[in-house]
Amino acid sequence: MFLSSQQPLEIEQLITFLQINKNFKYLHLKFCNIDSKGAEALANSESLKVLL
């Protein structure tokens, strides 16, 4: 899945989406304008750590 956005991605919505849809094997977020707060939220999400 490739996501691209001109404005910052809503990290909380992304985390919720990934918690519900667990079949992703690859997620490319390079051009989603994720800021440092968003990156920290993704890194600290306990439910997503199983993906690492």
Which of 10, 49, 50 has the alpha carbon at shortest distance from 29? 10
DSSP secondary structure string, 1-24?
A: -B---SS---HHHHHHHHHH-TT-
Give the pair of three-digit tokens for residue 21. Answer: 């849809």
Q: Which residues contact 38 (CB under 8 A, 6 or more apart)?
A: 8, 9, 11
Residue 35 pLDDT? 84
Residue 26 pLDDT? 76
Residue 50 pLDDT? 62
Provide the CA 36 distance to its chain's centre, in angstroms: 12
Residue 49 pLDDT? 66
Low-confidence ranges of the chain (pLDDT < 50): none
